[in-house]
Chains A and B, each alone.
Chain A
């Protein structure tokens, strides 16, 4: 059974701080990793993808991947109240299907 594990949170950070979200996965053969953001009552939307070990930056977001440790993380710099949402880590398995973690709720206080 392929698993994706995330701390459910909530993770509370003050506005302007760095939020660090973490994810581990069990399938060592996984090659593609995604972070989705889901606002309450809305559908998940893709914010970052990463395929190679190391860091990938996009604006205030940085995804980090360490395949040896089977670990993926998402850093959000200069956190804003509008970043308050649940962040879902997803791992691409065979058949191009995504397995999702249960998500980490992020709360950014003004």
Chain B
């Protein structure tokens, strides 16, 4: 199994530009999570999908952030317009969604907004 695959691994963009992060979960996993990690705030849950449906998006910081999961094998996290404070490592994780399930993380996308 290839694990959770994220792209790009690194992204540098200018303030105001649109950024799209991509994630392919582990095949057969029906839960997908987007997390953001910073030194100050640690690992924060942004949004959670189950069976492609957004279940909990209370962690999405503001309307500039949006996430989609058009099918079971692909999700995107979009930031438009991007701001320097969005600079962080964004992780995608997936799980089987069953009780006591564990989440498997992708390698992350390091986003720098200048």
Contact = CB atoms under 8 A, between A and B. Distances in A.
B80 to A, nearest CB: 25
Interface residues of B, number: 25
Contacts of A34: 102
Interface in B18-48: 31, 33, 35, 41-45, 48
A44 B105 contact: yes
B103 A98 contact: yes
Contacts, number: 53
Given A101-B42, A102-B42, A42 B107 contact: yes
B43 A49 contact: no
A97 B100 contact: no
Contacts of A95: 48, 50, 55-56
A45 interface: yes
Interface in B48-96: 48, 50, 55-56, 91, 95
Given A46-B102, A96-B99, A98-B33, 10 more contacts: A32-B99, A42-B107, A43-B108, A44-B91, A46-B103, A88-B43, A92-B100, A92-B101, A95-B48, A96-B31
23 contacts: A42-B107, A43-B105, A43-B108, A44-B43, A44-B91, A46-B102, A46-B104, A88-B42, A92-B101, A95-B50, A95-B56, A96-B31, A96-B48, A96-B50, A96-B101, A97-B33, A97-B45, A97-B56, A98-B103, A99-B45, A100-B35, A100-B44, A103-B42
Interface of B: 31, 33, 35, 41-45, 48, 50, 55-56, 91, 95, 97, 99-108
